[in-house]
């Protein structure tokens, strides 16, 4: 049982709110009502302030905030970033620019994932990305600490989560290391969930889940397309399943994060036309499809003005409206990035532009293939 930190009313309010946001499982609602989220935010969090040059992360310290306000903030259904570029919020002396590297994710998102993973009494669960430990605590509350193992790669984040979990009365198995490679050879988990995004399914996830068990993870890429994969593991080292309809996003697992942005050149390359509007990439499903065609490209820009950059090869594609209507595309480098995107989008359109659950993933020893329609349908190799 989680200890009380004077937050009972706030917890119950948050639990009630999740029930209005499509969370149907009473056991998860009860877990949210029981776990004091303020314990998991530690001594400080970062607030995103819009600045002239992008977001600035301003530290908010617990000891400079009234206890009532801190409890209210902690139990909002929002993500609280706790680390930016490796700097913990409690160590920050001023606002920082940079990218979040750890957080307590929006509770409604975390609980949606836990629900979609179809976790049941008695399940042994492996979580990748302990973060603050809040989602780990929900799992412990629901299943008992003995059923839960969680892996966090950042030692400072992991130490803070361990303290919070102990304070809340939970004692799951906690491992510090890269959850994409470290594994326990004797493990046989029923469920694996990841609260960080991956570009492909790491092999060691499959080794650690029993035949018939499941992997639930956000599958993402550098074009910004993300889907939620829910895969059933076979007894022969394979895994497969359709993507779910939920749209959600988690920060990348660190080894899968995009490399630093390459330079790109303007007005270079040929200028062929294109069959598709570049603005189609503003649609999340289309962006996911485009990413299948160009899996190591990043996207900058929106609307008609898009830049695709492939960091590995330096290939680039830029789009702009053509003076006489339509669009001009300049492509440069060994990969024809726009052609690859256009082919993938055309294949999807020929199938009637179905939503994300029309796609699925097949993981075999030969590779990882996203298919459209059925496992024998058109498919794209993931960069595994």
Ligand X SMILES: C[S@@+](CC[C@H](N)C(=O)[O-])C[C@H]1O[C@@H](n2cnc3c(N)ncnc32)[C@H](O)[C@@H]1O
If the CB atoms of residues 153 and 289 are measured against ligand X, the closer one turns out to be 153
Tokens, residue 148: 């839960």
Strand, helix or coil for residue 116: helix
> Closest separation between CB of residue 117 and ligand X, Å?
13
Q: How many other C-beta atoms can be found within 10 angstroms of the C-beta atom of residue 284?
A: 16
* Nearest distance in Å: CB 38, ligand X: 13
Rg, Å, the chain Cα set: 22
Q: Of 185, 232, 175, which is closest to residue 207 (Cα–Cα)?
A: 185
> Measured from the CB of residue 76, what is the shortest distance to ligand X in angstroms?
14
Q: Which is nearer to ligand X, 136 or 318 (CB)?
A: 136
Q: Which is nearer to ligand X, 103 or 214 (CB)?
A: 103
- 209 neighbors 194 (Cβ within 8 angstroms): no
Tell the residue number behind the tokens 């492939």, with chain if given: 310
Cβ closer to ligand X: 123 or 152? 152
CB-nearer residue toward ligand X: 147 or 274: 147
Contacts of 20 (CB under 8 A, 6+ apart): none
H helices of 214-336, in order, are 284-293
Give the DSSP H or E segment for 64.
Answer: none
- Tell the smallest beta-carbon distance from residue 204 to ligand X (Å): 11
> Between 135 and 331, whose beta carbon lies closer to ligand X?
135
Residue 239 · residue 363 · CB < 8 Å:
yes
Q: Smallest gap, in angstroms, from Cβ of residue 373 to ligand X? A: 32
As measured in angstroms, the least distance from the Cβ of 193 to ligand X is 9
362: tokens are 């097949």
For 115, the enclosing helix (H) or strand (E) is helix 107-116
Q: Which residues bind ligand X (CB under 6 A)?
A: 101-105, 110, 128-132, 134-135, 151-154, 157, 178-180, 195-196, 250-251, 253-255
* 172 closest CA partner among 44, 35, 5: 35
* For ligand X, the closer CB: 110 or 344: 110
Kindly report the backbone phi and psi dihedral angles of residue 287, in degrees, each rounded to the nearest multiple of 5, phi listed first.
Answer: -65, -40
Handedness of CA 374, 376, 377, 382 (dihedral sign): positive
Place of tokens 């394979």: 238
Tokens describing residue 115: 């629900």
Shortest distance (Å) from residue 303 CB to ligand X: 30
Q: Which of 70, 69, 66 is nearest to 42 (CA)?
A: 70
Q: How far is the CB of 226 from ligand X (least distance, A)?
A: 13
Query: Among residues 25 and 301, whose Cβ is nearest to ligand X?
Result: 25
């Amino acid at each position: 049982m989680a200890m009380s930190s004077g937050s009972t009313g706030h917890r119950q309010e948050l639990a009630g709110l999740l029930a209005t946001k499509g969370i149907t499982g009473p056991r998860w609602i009860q877990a949210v009502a029981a776990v004091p989220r303020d314990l998991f935010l530690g001594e400080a969090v970062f607030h995103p302030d819009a600045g002239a040059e992008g977001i600035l992360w301003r530290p908010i310290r617990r000891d400079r905030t009234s206890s009532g306000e801190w409890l209210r903030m902690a139990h909002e259904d929002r993500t609280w970033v706790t680390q930016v570029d490796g700097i913990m919020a409690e160590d920050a002396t001023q606002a920082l620019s940079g990218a979040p590297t750890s957080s307590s994710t929006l509770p409604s998102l975390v609980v949606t994932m836990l629900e979609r993973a179809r976790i049941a009494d008695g399940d042994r669960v492996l979580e990748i990305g302990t973060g603050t430990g809040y989602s780990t605590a929900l799992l412990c509350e629901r299943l008992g600490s003995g059923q839960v193992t969680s892996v966090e790669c950042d030692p400072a984040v992991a130490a803070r989560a361990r303290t919070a979990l102990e304070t809340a009365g939970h004692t799951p198995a906690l491992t510090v290391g890269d959850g994409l490679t470290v594994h326990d050879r004797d493990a046989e988990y029923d469920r694996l969930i990841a609260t960080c995004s991956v570009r492909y399914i790491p092999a060691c996830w499959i080794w650690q889940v029993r035949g018939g068990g499941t992997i639930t993870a956000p599958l993402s890429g550098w074009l910004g397309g993300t889907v939620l994969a829910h895969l059933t593991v076979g007894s022969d080292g394979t895994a497969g399943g359709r993507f779910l309809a939920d749209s959600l996003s988690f920060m990348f697992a660190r080894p899968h994060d995009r490399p630093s942005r390459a330079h790109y050149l303007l007005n270079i390359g040929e200028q062929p036309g294109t069959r598709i509007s570049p603005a189609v990439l503003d649609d999340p499903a289309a962006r996911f499809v485009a990413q299948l065609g160009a899996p190591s490209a990043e996207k900058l820009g929106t609307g008609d003005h898009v830049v695709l950059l492939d960091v590995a090869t330096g290939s680039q594609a830029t789009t702009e409206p053509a003076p006489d209507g339509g669009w001009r595309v300049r492509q440069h480098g060994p990969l024809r990035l726009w052609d690859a995107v256009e082919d993938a989008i055309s294949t999807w359109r020929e199938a009637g532009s179905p939503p994300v659950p029309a796609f699925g993933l097949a993981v075999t020893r030969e590779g990882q293939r996203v298919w459209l329609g059925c496992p024998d349908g058109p498919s794209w190799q993931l960069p595994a």
